[in-house]
Structure formats: C-alpha cells, structure tokens
C-alpha cells in the first residue's frame, strides 16, 4: 500500500495512454453497456498490474462479459441502499404532505424533519461504507462471481483484515471519484475522459489493496 498514491500518475507510464483513455471514454458514451465494459476494462487492467506490467489494458469493447458480474453486484448494493432510504423518506414525505393539507401539528412536522435528517445520514453512512468495502467486493466478484461479491460477511471479513489498508484504499477511491467528476466542471465531454482515467486509478488502488 506504500505506493498507492501513484494511482494518480501510473497511467501515464503507458506510451499509449492517450489513445486508450480516449477510446474507453468514447465507449462510455454507450448507455449502460459502456459502463459495464468500463468495469471489465478496469479488471483487465488489474490483471496487467498483477503480471508486473504497468500498462493499461487494450481499449476496446471486449470486456462487457467480464464487467457484467461486477456491474450486477454494484447494482444490487445500490438498490439495497435505495430501498433502505425509501423506507425512511416515504413516511417523512407522507407526514409532510399530510401536514400541508390541514392544520399543522408541530410534533408531526418535527418528526418529518427528523426522518429526513436520518434518511440523509443513513444514505451518507451506507454510501461511505460501500466505498470502503469496494476493493474487497471487486476482488471477490472477479475471483468467484456474483455470489461472492454479495457475500457481505466475507466482504466485511476481508475489509477488516487490515483496517489501515481498507481506509487508505477507500479514501483513494473517493479521490478517484472526485477526479472522475472534474471533467463535468471543465466541460461535458471532459467528464468521459476523466471517468476513464478514474477507472485506471481504481485499478491501481484495488491492486494495491490486494497486494497489501
């Protein structure tokens, strides 16, 4: 994990980094399929790092099959968070609507506000937890399939094996996510290139977690 900060610079060691990132950026334009292929490309890049090659995987649309399982696992975790959030927000919304139709009850209004605050807090905590668990989720899914990826106990066990590594990897994934969003600030098209770059960063981070 001592070289994990090199996630920012390692893609540029590949002489073909420009063309590879641009091609992956273009594939990300394809709804859903582009994202699935991008995940597969990230996994293929991890394979190259495991082999000692500090080069990005070839950029094409051949990674859809490999990325599909990871996409499905990430979708399942996201849906679970959404369902939990809805279980909190729906009652809060119902209370708000009810109090807006007649004489307001200060206690019920306070309850609605409290539920909204709890809902946002739960979403934040669960989203952060998912981020810090993501290296273990990615590795488990890639090695043993969807069932291993959603085996929460095994994922938590792997994540807790070395909390320092998990913390560092999670923080770096947050940084990679920020980098991936920079393009949307600069220009709409730029977000695609920075998203491809963020996938390359994730490959290095997850490989470093695996080694650690």
Distance CA 89, CA 101 (A): 19
Does the CA dihedral 135-138-142-143 come out positive or negative?
positive
> What does the pLDDT look like over 37-50, one tens digit per residue?
999 999 999 999 99
Helices 106-144, 33-50: inter-axial angle, 10-degree rounding: 50
Residue 11 is given by DSSP the state G
Q: Can you tell me the mean pLDDT for 98-108?
A: 66
Largest CA distance in the chain: 69
Res 112 pLDDT > 90: no
pTM for this prediction: 0.89
Has residue 90 got a pLDDT over 70? Answer: yes
> pLDDT exceeding 70 applies to what percent of the chain?
91
Q: What is the pLDDT of residues 137-186, one digit of tens each?
A: 999 999 999 999 999 999 999 999 999 999 999 999 999 988 877 765 55
DSSP 189: T
Q: What is the mean pLDDT of the chain?
A: 89
């Amino acid at each position: 994990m001592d070289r994990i900060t090199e996630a920012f610079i390692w893609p540029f060691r590949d002489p073909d980094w420009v063309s590879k990132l641009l091609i992956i950026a273009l594939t990300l334009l394809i709804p859903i399929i582009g994202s699935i292929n991008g995940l597969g490309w990230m996994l293929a890049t991890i394979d190259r790092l495991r082999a000692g090659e500090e080069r990005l995987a070839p950029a094409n649309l051949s990674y859809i099959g490999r990325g599909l399982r990871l996409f499905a696992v990430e979708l399942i975790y996201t849906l679970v968070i959404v369902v939990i959030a809805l279980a909190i927000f729906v009652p809060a919304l119902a209370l708000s609507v009810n109090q807006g139709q007649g004489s307001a009850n200060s206690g019920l209004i306070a309850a609605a506000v409290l539920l909204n605050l709890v809902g946002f807090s739960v979403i934040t905590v669960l989203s952060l937890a998912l981020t810090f668990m993501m290296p273990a989720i990615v590795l488990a899914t890639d090695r043993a399939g969807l069932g291993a990826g959603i085996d929460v106990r095994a994922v938590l066990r792997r994540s807790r094996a070395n909390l320092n590594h998990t913390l560092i990897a999670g923080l770096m994934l947050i940084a990679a996510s920020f980098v991936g969003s920079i393009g949307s600030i600069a220009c709409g098209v730029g977000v695609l290139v920075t998203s491809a770059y963020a996938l390359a960063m994730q490959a290095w981070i997850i490989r470093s977690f695996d080694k650690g």
